[in-house]
Homo-oligomer: A and B are copies of this chain.
Amino acid sequence: MSKKTTIYDIAKKLDITAATVSRALNNNPKISEATRELVLKTAAKMNYKQNRLALALQSGKSNNVGVIVPRVDSNFFGAIIRGVEEELNPHGYHVIICQTHEDENRENENIDTLLNAQVDGILISTTSNKITEPFNRVLKKNTPLVFFDRRKTMNGVSSVTINDFEGGYKATKHLIEQGCTRIAHFSGNRSIEIFQERYLGYKQALIDSGIEFNEDYVIETKSNREAGSNAVKLLLELNPPPEAIFSSGDFAALGAIEELRLRNINIPEEFAVVGFSNEPFTKFMELSISSIDQSPLEMGKMAAKVFLEQVTNTDNIKMEKKVILEPELIIRKSSLKTSLIKPNLKKVT
């Protein structure tokens, strides 16, 4: 059990005052070399460890930052958290994680409890685009706030995102280059900025290549296999049906592929597919799935760096920084046609 030794204990032992001990421990210049060494040595001997809690209370800095994500057990958020932790740990910060499960109320609760816990900053991938009271409290309290991936539009708040528009554009452009013209899109809920941007990128790529945009080819799906399977069924009933899909999510892309194979449609020859997020499984599939990599590790590190800048620049009241990472297209079998000769497609009127 052994009660924790404090600076008072070591002060008493050395018959000096706690203030002196504190100074010695903190490399305060106004202290004699002799006492400093003495203090350091006996501190080590007595197995002294600083109580960060007391320091936190008196300094107002807890050295904890809160990270709020929808869930932690996905590759994407896991990698982000990894990045945040690795970047922040060397600076003496601990990472507290909170999950929202896409629930706005829990998000608000999490923010409030983190604020109560006196975190030095909050990094969040938000679930809604409303600016609720807790967010205002964060600003009022002057706690550094950084959005990553999913942001809200707030004055003076920094964010780290990827260029989702570019991601959608690249994916679609790639499909066009493979010779596809009838390209469908699985979109997420477009009231969420990232999905809207991917959609717009898709649209723009079509326009830039002189391909007519077809509303019927855009389907809003959840990101799971069943949704992808159902969506592709709808598409195949269209006349003409599409010959490619750019999906805003890898799971929906997977579901689509499964459905297509069930119908003996050859991928990528007859039908090409590109997903989004570069989930690990896309790489391991025998028919590997092309996808857009969001470099979540980088995103996490970057979010942490932005926080660190914010916490350093105390002079600047406000500094709003928008970091936009470039998405990378990973071309795999599901969209790479071996020959550039356009394959036989079902004849279409």
Contacts and interface: CB of A to CB of B under 8 A. Distances in A.
Contacts of A281: 280-281, 284-285
A96 B64 contact: yes
Interface string A60-72: 0011100000011
B49 A53 contact: no
Contacts of A141: 1-2, 4
Interface string A2-30: 10100000000000000000000000000
A49 B112 contact: yes
Interface in A265-307: 280-281, 284-287, 297
B117 A53 contact: yes
A131 interface: no
A76 to B, nearest CB: 9
What is the total number of copies of this protein in its complex? Answer: 2
B75 A82 contact: no
A44 interface: no
B99 A96 contact: no
A72 B78 contact: yes
A238 interface: no
A117 B52 contact: yes
A53 B118 contact: yes
Contacts of A49: 112, 115-116
A102 B89 CA distance: 16
A96 B94 contact: yes
Interface in A111-160: 112-118, 140-142
The 5 closest A-B pairs by CB, nearest first: A73-B78, A281-B281, A73-B79, A73-B82, A78-B78
